[in-house]
Chains A and B, each alone.
Chain A
Amino acid sequence: MRLELQKRAQVSTLFSILSPLLALALTLVVGGIMFWALGKSPTGALYTFFVEPLLDVWSLHELVIKAAPLILIAVGLAICYRSNNWNIGAEGQFTIGAITGSILPVLYPEWHSPMILPLMLVMGMIGGALYAGIPAFLKIRCNTNEILTSLMLVYIAQLFLDWLVRGPWRDPQGYNFPQTKSFQVEAVLPEVLDSGRAHMGIVFTLLAAVLLWFMMRFMLKGFQVSVLGQSARAGRFAGFSAKNMVWFSMLLSGALAGLAGISEVSGSIGHLQPTISPGYGFTAIIVAFLGRLNPLGIVASGFVLALTYLGGEAAQLSIGISDKVSRVFQGLILFFVLSCDTLIHYRIRLIFNPSAATAEAKN
């Protein structure tokens, strides 16, 4: 028996929509089998994992808090990946954005002005963009592979944050905890609703998603992204600059990751500490693919992936499975999404008798 791919004459619209759903269904099946292998009831565990977190107001707020950075980072990454620039260092840009955005509240804790919050957000975006500018610059000037450089910069950014909060930025009254002073009230992102912790970060996120969707759909820049991504040669004939696209996509995704970083620190943590992200920058890569690199699709997939974080916590508390399960689910989702995407471009045929099939093809 053999699998054979047959190129479709046209991209299948049906499977473009169906593929992420199919991938989720397959993830649930394999996840159920995994729970069963761990000696838990598959349906009960899946219920705890994927349904229970949606049932009370508190955890819905947590869902929004986790979805906001994922979506914000992922829409930026989608532009990168569409244009064939492989920024996988969003985690580092998130960290640097959080650091540069925190400069004002950490150094001027007595500054009580409404100006401080907008300034922080802008500085966070600039920090993230500059940090993403390093692999962009190296790619353009030195022909360096941006996958490796952006990833190495993640480790460096995390070590830099670690040094800051244990060294120069440590709160002297913090009982030796490695963290900065808590931000003043004016430097904390306000909550969206009175009912819980979800902060304004989700508003920036949805705004960014809609704007980028509009850009990809209706603006020349969006067209440039697609053309240069699909064929750099065709883009050159159209007079589009591949170099400018490297700058544009990397700086944009860096700025959005930086904004996500400072929003997370200001809105949900309230100070800097050695670890500020449960791997949002990497999970956002999955979000981007599950959303089929479409900003609106990414909004939906961001909530799905946020649910895997909450589900992991819930599963740990109520059925005693480690929260590492979330990472497994996230990996599985990406795998199935990538496999199902094949169906969009190819028809899959199972061939039971290879030699006969070849003869048939020749006739």
Chain B
Amino acid sequence: MFEAILLTVITASTPLVIAALGELVAERSGVLNLGVEGMMIMGAVSAFAAAQLTGSPYLGILAGIAGGALFSLLFGFLTLTLVANQVATGLALTILGLGLSGQLGESFVGMPGIKLQPIVIPLLSDIPFFGLVLFAQDLIFYLSVALVIGISWFLFKSRAGLKLRAIGDNHGSAHALGINVVRVRYLAVLFGGACAGLAGAQLSLVYTPQWVENMSAGRGWIALALVVFASWRPWRLLAGGYLFGAVTIGQLHAQAFGIGVPSQLLSALPYAATIVVLIIISHNRRMTLINTPASLGKPFVPDR
């Protein structure tokens, strides 16, 4: 029983963690991309379509990543090349993504999906209690853990990560040092898009293997809140993601048991929790200021 709940918590948390990780990297480079929801839903529809057409959920994953990444290029072109307002462009990306995915996915509505099967790791999965929970999961879960470790190493231990953080903190100085600010930001935005797409693929291939319009249901926005919650640190983000996953699953189980509370109140819990968490985190003004990438959301036009 407890094991089963833990499994569902992991499934609910994985897309949040992956999407938020991508956004974390983009924001560390100083780009605020509010289009996570749009990139995620584009990833979900691409993944579902590719899996249906080819019969392989793994090609679906690749299509999801590509869908999210391609879509993020649109954001990159507007905000990095044309220096458009990042907040407004992010909103545009979300609105366009929700519309376009609805249009593209129309013929897939109601089709039974193809579920990504778990990969059981021999020996490790035999460990009592934790074995099945952690080592008999699907590929996307393993990827999410690898991403946390990889990004944490990249940002704080590698030279390229140092450059990326430098750009996020002061793009003027980074430019003066000869770092190509726009190129690095393009790569960061692309990575964010790829992660959001992968998270979307998880939704339509693992979480609920089917295509439903607006199936991301605000998860992209929760991922954005998670980045603030984690104060731009990958490991804290992992913890936060699982906290949110637990709230989501907790309310589902509470609904199933029919504890005399309206189901709508329980459904509102993840959103309310997001607000509460933002309040707790933002309350400490100094903490937030220290951690926020200083040039986050600010336009950059190289002077030559």
Contact = CB atoms under 8 A, between A and B. Distances in A.
Contacts of A3: 81-82
A156 B100 contact: no
Contacts of B221: 148, 151-152
Given A322-B102, A331-B99, A338 B84 contact: yes
A145 B282 contact: yes
A155 B95 contact: no
B264 A159 contact: yes
B304 A361 contact: yes
B95 A147 contact: no
A327 interface: yes
A282 B85 CA distance: 17
Interface string B177-215: 000000000000000000000000000000000000100
A277 interface: no
A152 B91 contact: no
A187 interface: no
B68 to A, nearest CB: 16
A160 B34 CA distance: 25
A327 B97 CA distance: 9
Contacts of B39: none
A334 B225 contact: no
Interface residues of B, number: 45
- Judged by DSSP, the binding face of B is helix
Contacts of A5: 81-83, 301
A323 B33 CA distance: 28
Interface residues of A, number: 50
A324 B106 contact: yes
Interface stretch (B50-58, B126-134, B252-260, B270-278): B270-278
Interface string A1-16: 0010101000000000
Contacts of A332: 96
B108 to A, nearest CB: 12
Contacts of A329: 99
B84 A339 contact: yes
A317 interface: no
Given A286-B95, A324-B103, A331-B100, A338 B304 contact: no
Nearest to B222: A152
Nearest to A285: B91
A115 interface: no
Interface string A321-363: 0101111111110110011011000101000000000100100
Contact of B304 (A330, A339, A358): A358
Contact of A162 (B34, B264, B272, B279): B264
B224 A148 contact: yes
A142 interface: yes
Contacts of A289: 88
A167 interface: yes
Interface in B216-253: 218, 221, 224-225, 228
Contacts of A283: 95
A152 B78 contact: no
B1 interface: no
A326 B268 contact: no
A138 interface: yes
Contact of B99 (A148, A330, A341): A330
A335 B96 contact: yes
A325 B99 CA distance: 7
A260 B299 CA distance: 34
Given A330-B95, A342-B84, A144 B264 contact: no
Contact of B34 (A147, A153, A166, A330): A147
Interface in B73-129: 74, 78, 81-85, 87-89, 91-92, 95-100, 102-103, 106
Interface of B: 34, 74, 78, 81-85, 87-89, 91-92, 95-100, 102-103, 106, 213, 218, 221, 224-225, 228, 262, 264-265, 267-268, 271-272, 274-275, 278-279, 282-283, 285, 288, 301, 304
8 contacts: A144-B278, A155-B271, A159-B264, A286-B92, A327-B96, A332-B96, A338-B84, A361-B304
Q: Report the 6 A-B pairs with minimum CB-CB distance, sorted nearest first.
A: A327-B99, A331-B96, A324-B102, A163-B264, A334-B92, A159-B264
Interface of A: 3, 5, 7, 81, 86, 88, 138, 142-145, 147-149, 151-153, 155-156, 159-160, 162-163, 166-167, 282-283, 285-286, 289, 322, 324-332, 334-335, 338-339, 341-342, 346, 348, 358, 361
